[in-house]
Amino acid sequence: MSPVRPYNKNCARRSNGVRFKIAVLSLMLIALFAEDVFCNEESQARSLFYQGNTQYRKGDFKEAVLNYQKALDSGFESGPLYYNIGNAYFKNGSLGKAILNYLRAKRFLPRDADLKSNLEYARSLIKGGAVRPERGFFARQFFKLADAFSLDKITLFTSVTYFILSLALVLFIFIKKIRRILIYITLLVSALLIVFSSVLYVQVSRTVIEKKGVIITDGTNARFEPLDEATTFFSLNEGECVTLVTSKIDWVKIKRPDGKQGWIQKRDIEAL
């Protein structure tokens, strides 16, 4: 008969402690390893970016595009990366893809003067000119404001304004002496919060709800039905920006800024 081992509370506690330490250590190791993997991948993407730049300087724009694209495929993105891809495509003669990548870059560099200039120039080369939506004065100002912030910046601004508003409300509840001033502050911050959250909504809806795309094939025919034989409704030029409405196997239903809708082949468009 084997002797019954007495239950040792201390022993159990100690083993629990060791387990906890091991768990923490392994978590730290995993975190370090993950960080290391992240760093490795990032440095690889960086190196591909610089390789792309070297090819661009040599005038080998096709190879430059390939390297930039590889950097993107590794799962990373940045404003300058999209900007350079746009330039390489432009030099390659792919106006549609150039505009597409400039528009992608705009999400990261909303106020970059170089990007603005290149995008304007590329747009000016669209055959027949780009169709722009007609907007009233206030809508124009609002969208100007919306375009001036990157998505992360406006998210942060909205959040900070919301925190300030909450703080003002807390002070309003507890300190009666300064309630009069707090009313004005609360109103002002609330107005700011409305503006910021509207901008945030517009920006998120652009990326999630109302997806945009750019025509990459010149003379794309938008048809009444998603069939090759369907009657052409209107034609689209390379570089035109449209809204994606719905898709069906090889076809996408698109909406032009003037509201006209038609079906085009998926290969003729690339989503932003």
Partner 1 sequence: MKDLKQKLKIQSLERVFILFLIIVSVSSISLAEDISFEVTADRNKVYLGSIVRLDLNFYGTQNIPPPDLPDIEGFKWQYLGPSSRISIVNGVTSTSITYMYTLHPLRTGIFQIPPLVVHYKGRTYTSNPIQIEVEKSQFGQTSRSVEEKAYDEKLSGLEDRVFLIMEAGKKRAYINEIIPVMIKFYVRRLSVRDIQYPQFSHEGFLVDKYDKPRQYREVLSGNLYEVVEFTTNVYGIRPGQLKLGPAELKCNLLIKKSRRRRSSSFDDDFFSSDPFDDFFEHYERHPLNLTSLNIPVTITELPKEDVPAGFKGAIGDYRFYLECDPKEIKAGDPITLKMTITGEGNFKTVEAPSLGLGDGFKVYDPESKQEANRKIFEQVVIPKDDKIKEIPRIIFSFFNTKTGDYHTVAKGPIPITVRPLPKGEELRVFEAPAAPRGETGRMEILGRDIIYIKDAPGTLRRKDDFLYKNRLFIVLQFIPLLTVMGLFLFQKRRERLQRDVRYARRIRAPRKARKNLRMAHGLLAAGKPAEFYNAVFKALQEYLGDKFHLPTGGITSDVVEDLSRRNINGDILNKLKECFADCDMARYAPSSITREDMDKTYRLFGEIIDRLERIKI
- What are the residues binding partner 1 (CB under 8 A)? 42, 45-46, 49-50, 53, 56, 71-72, 75-81, 83-84, 87-88, 90-91, 108, 114, 117-118, 121-122, 151-152, 155-156, 159, 162-163, 165-167, 169-170, 173-174, 200, 204, 207, 228-229, 231-232, 249-250
Closest distance between partner 1 and the C-beta of residue 111, in Å?
A: 14
**What's the closest the beta carbon of residue 59 comes to partner 1, in angstroms?**
12
Contact by Cβ (8 Å): 103, 214: yes
Nearer to partner 1, 8 or 47 (CB): 47
Residue 14 CB, shortest distance to partner 1, in Å, is 32
Nearer to partner 1, 15 or 117 (CB): 117
| 86 CB-near residues (< 8 Å, 6+ apart) | 97, 98, 99, 100, 101, 102, 104, 105, 118, 119, 122
Nearer to partner 1 among residue 18 and residue 228 (C-beta)? 228
How many angstroms separate the CA atoms of 268 and 219, rounded? 9
Task: Report which residue type is found at 211.
Answer: K
Contact (Cβ atoms closer than 8 angstroms) between residue 255 and residue 243: yes
Long-range pairs for 70-76: beta carbons < 8 A, 24 or more residues apart: 71/45, 71/46, 74/41, 74/44, 74/45, 74/48, 75/41, 75/45, 76/41, 76/42, 76/45
CB 46 → partner 1: shortest distance, Å? 6
Amino acid sitting at position 122: A
- Among residues 8 and 207, whose Cβ is nearest to partner 1? 207
CB 105 within 8 A of CB 86: yes
By beta-carbon proximity to partner 1, the closer residue of 197 and 243 is: 197
Q: How far is the CB of 10 from partner 1 (least distance, A)?
A: 30
H/E element, 244 = strand 241-248
Q: Which is nearer to partner 1, 53 or 243 (CB)?
A: 53
CB of 15 to partner 1, least distance (A): 28
